[in-house]
Amino acid sequence: MPWLSYQKALNRALADALAADDTVFVLGEDVRVAASNVTTGLAKRFGPDRVIDTPLSEQGFTSFATGAALAGMRPVIEFQIPALLFLSFEQITNHAHKFSLMTGGQCGVPVTYVVPGSGSRTGWAGQHSDHPYSLFAHVGVKTVVPATPTDAYGLLRSSIEDADPVVVFAPAGALGVREDVDFATLAPVPLGVGRVHRRGTDVTVVAVGHLVHDALAVAEDLADTVSVEVFDPRTLYPFDWDGLTESVRRTGRLVVTDDSNRSCGIAGEVIATMTERVRLSAPPVRVTRPDGAVLPFSLELDRAVQPSREQLVAAINRTVKER
């Protein structure tokens, strides 16, 4: 079977969505020249009316997409860097997200916001290395963080087809991942359904985005001494609380690894919800960036701020020793 890369999966999902639905169109900065490689070939195949280069005004073209969605279209915006979401946070969370709620469902805003390269990209420094998915999950915007190429394809397809705004974070750390895939089996993946990548009996590790691959590597390294279950939420809002609860009830222990800041992050929310639902055999542990972390330009310091496999190993061993 052929190999499918994460970036190619996003590209294929966009192409298939454009081909399947004439109301879908892509817009963003430099999308015709495919600066991020995610929109490669789309302008040539679908033309300039459906693959639209925008001015450098995130608030402007994000508002434009909201209007287009209200008029019956399904826009897909590509943001080249995650910090651009801070500029358009008002347009996404206070406008697009709330139209349906404030009109009793009379108005739908099916816009998809794609960030191909969220998080650290090897020394891109503070304004290009954020992972702000917790902000969008907090306000109730549908928030997706795929870890694998097949999930990147399936979740992006579902996001584009959804009736509500969806933000899709494609972690920089996952863009190089490849999978052996039968293209005929690629299909939409429902939002709000988590995935158990590896079964285990001693501890559940919840890993977000590219950290799924770190968790799987650590689980393999510890296989002789600890049985680790790896749970990938895939969608942070809505979150698959029932699926995670079933996993944690079986293992009795919980570790969360999340490449975003510690305070008010997804890791804290996962731990709080599970302690409300499950009687744990040991205190839960989270592995995150530090409080208020801003990634520095130095590559060494950049790596020091991010969650590591060594930290995850220490967290797992800590929970398992609490017998």
Question: Which active-site residues does the annotation give?
Answer: 128
Q: Report DSSP letters for 224-291, one per residue.
A: TT--EEEEE-SEEES--HHHHHHHHHHH--EEEEEEEESTT-HHHHHHHHHHHH---SS--EEEEEPT
3-state helix, strand, coil in the chain (%, to 5): 40, 20, 40
The answer to whether the beta carbons of residues 312 and 287 sit under 8 Å apart is yes
85 CB-side CA count, 13 A: 30
The answer to whether the beta carbons of residues 202 and 320 sit under 8 Å apart is yes
Number of neighbours of residue 318 by Cβ within 10 angstroms: 15
How many angstroms separate the CA atoms of 76 and 99, rounded? 18
**Dihedral of the alpha carbons of 78, 84, 87, 93, in degrees to the nearest 10:** 50
How many angstroms separate the CA atoms of 150 and 156, rounded? 10
Secondary structure (H, E, C), 290-305: CCCCCCCCCHHHHHHH
How many angstroms separate the CA atoms of 225 and 67, rounded? 56
Pairing status of strand 228-232 against strand 235-237: unpaired
Angle subtended at Cα 165 by Cα 45 and Cα 36, rounded to the nearest 5 degrees: 40
- Looking up tokens 């397809």 gives 157
The three-state secondary structure class of 6 is helix
